[in-house]
Structure 1
Amino acid sequence: MKIRILTDSASDLSDELTKKFGIDVLPLSVFLGDIEYKDGETIEPKELYDNMRAGKVYKTSQVAPQEFKKKFEEYAKNNESCIYIGFSSELSGTYQSSTIAKEEILEEYPNFDITLIDTKCASGGFGLVVLKAAQMVMEGASKEDIVKATEFYAKHMEHIFTVDDLEYLFRGGRVSRTAAVLGSLLNIKPILHVDNGRLVPLEKVRGRNKVIKRMMDIIEERGVRLSEQTIGMTHGDDLDIALKAKKMMEERFGCKDFIIRDVGCAVGAHSGPGTLAIFFLNK
């Protein structure tokens, strides 16, 4: 039975990779006022970040259950097996939508072979988990082995990131107004990570250059065999800062394989321009 990998746009995978590995992607919705856009389909990161810099505020919405059901029905009719690998349930209701759709589709197609995985990951870290599963499908691995590996990768995926302006995290309810104002005045850059699917502050560092150097220290403390890994890196329309971090990882850890992407619109609407995130497997 053919195995299909389904994910959502918060995985921030390029069209090139999704096509190469046969990954289906459902887009989250991004709203500017009453106008709805589909992440990666009708709005691209550059437009979003330019507008955010100009003061426009975006909101996001989960993938609806009916969108999942359409995909599930397509697979069921084709007698295909499905593994949905989803955005952290702590950051979006998208995974919950998939569970609703699963219940509905199994009423109509009780023999449909479907597995849902809540990665508790986001952006490039989430994308690396999806990519691992898709690679295993192409290699002919069993569904059981793919699910086990996916769950392992998700559990051990580190997200170390910083944002350039705390204002965007304030708008998303991640920090207080006082923290956002003081951060701007004092040039404070937070370092955050993802713990059990939630965004959690780690440290505060003053200055952009210092924060990247400190991120490297944290990566060294947490990473394992970094030179052998594919390192994920996403940025908020700031390729220069990502390339600077890449060079530091090459020189310090001997890393050779990178996937560098913009933070997509669904995540970037909350993290803002200038975000830098680095993803790798921990110890």
Structure 2
Amino acid sequence: MKVHIIADSACDLPIDYFGERNISFLPLSVEMNGEQLKDQIDIKPKQIYDAMREGSTIKTSQASPLQFKEVFTDLASKEVPSLYVAFSSELSGTYQTAMMIRNEVLEEYPNFELTIVDSKCASLGHGLAVKYASDLSESGRPLGEIEAAVKDYCKKMEHIFTVDNLEYLARGGRISKTSAFVGGLLNIKPLLHVEDGKLIPLEKIRGRKKVFRRIIEIMKERGVNLQNQTIAISHGDDQDAANEMKAMIEEAFSPKDIYINYVGAVVGAHAGPGTLAIFFLNDTI
């Protein structure tokens, strides 16, 4: 029996992908104008960015215990070996909730094989890990082997982020409001990366063109065998920037493939419109 893959909406893969690959989908939630909405089901990323541009404050929340209970119990009752690739535990309580519900379900179904991997990844870095897990499942690999391979893959995933407007990071407490104000005046564009699951400031650069050139330099410094990788780009409702970045990556590295999608509502609610993120591996798998 193939291992069943479970993922949450913070992986920023299009919802159609889950149906095509028979992956269980767990939506995180956003609160907008007092209404609780399920990511990708009740609301799409562009709606979030449009609302943020108009001044709306967006709050996010993890997948609910009930959502986990329903998915895990259904799979347990069918005795389907399963693996859940979770959003970084440093950015959401979703992983911790999943572990709690897993223990509850195992009390009723002690033979249920369910592994939960804390990806320590976000957006399409997380999404590439889900794709990798799904590919391994489709090839018939056993649960333990998939778990080990996905954990190794996630450790090698690089995330390089930049944002267009520092104000949104200030709202979320990532930087001070004074820094955001001064940065805006000076056209400062921060580069951030993910370190052990946390979003960490890396550099401050003046102007978008210089930021893009610096991203290419970082990819050269950190990436391994980029010509044989699928590199992912996610964007906060800025397709033009994503296309420009894609062209620069193609010219520099000629990768096997470049996958582009929105930064989803959950991450985008904190990073804001104009966010651009690049994901690649720093070692071979």
TM-score range, shorter chain: over 0.9
Please tell me the root mean square deviation across aligned C-alpha atoms, in Å: 0.9
- Tell me, in whole angstroms, the C-alpha distance in 1 between the residues paired with 2:104 and 2:17: 30
- Are 1:279 and 2:279 counterparts? yes
> What fraction of aligned residue pairs are identical, expressed as a percent?
53
CA contact (8 A) 1:21 1:135 kept: no
Q: How many Å apart are 1:143 and its aligned residue?
A: 1.4
SS at match of 1:116: strand
The superposition leaves residues 171-207 of structure 1 with CA deviations (integer Å, 9 ceiling, x where unpaired) of 1111111111111111100000000000001100001
- Aligned position for 1:124: 124
- Aligned position for 1:146: 146
Greater than 4 Å deviation, 4+ residue runs: none
CA contact (8 A) 2:2 2:140 kept: no
Give matches, 1:241-280, under 5 Å: 241-280=241-280
The superposition leaves residues 139-181 of structure 1 with CA deviations (integer Å, 9 ceiling, x where unpaired) of 1112121111100111110000100001111111111111111
Show structure 1 runs of 5+ residues with no match: none
SS at match of 2:258: strand
1:240 aligned partner, one-letter code: D
TM-score (norm 1): 0.98
- Tell me, in whole angstroms, the C-alpha distance in 2 between the residues paired with 1:103 and 1:142: 22
The superposition leaves residues 193-250 of structure 1 with CA deviations (integer Å, 9 ceiling, x where unpaired) of 0000000011000011111111110111000011100001100000000010000010
- Aligned position for 2:232: 232
Q: How many Å apart are 1:23 and its aligned residue?
A: 1.5
- Tell me, in whole angstroms, the C-alpha distance in 2 between the residues paired with 1:206 and 1:88: 30
The superposition leaves residues 108-135 of structure 1 with CA deviations (integer Å, 9 ceiling, x where unpaired) of 1111111010010000000000100001
- Aligned position for 1:195: 195
- Tell me, in whole angstroms, the C-alpha distance in 2 between the residues paired with 1:278 and 1:21: 24
SS at match of 1:168: helix
- Tell me, in whole angstroms, the C-alpha distance in 2 between the residues paired with 1:252 and 1:214: 12
SS at match of 2:89: coil
- Tell me, in whole angstroms, the C-alpha distance in 2 between the residues paired with 1:69 and 1:27: 14
- Are 1:110 and 2:96 counterparts? no
1:188 aligned partner, one-letter code: I
1:88 aligned partner, one-letter code: S
TM-score (norm 2): 0.97
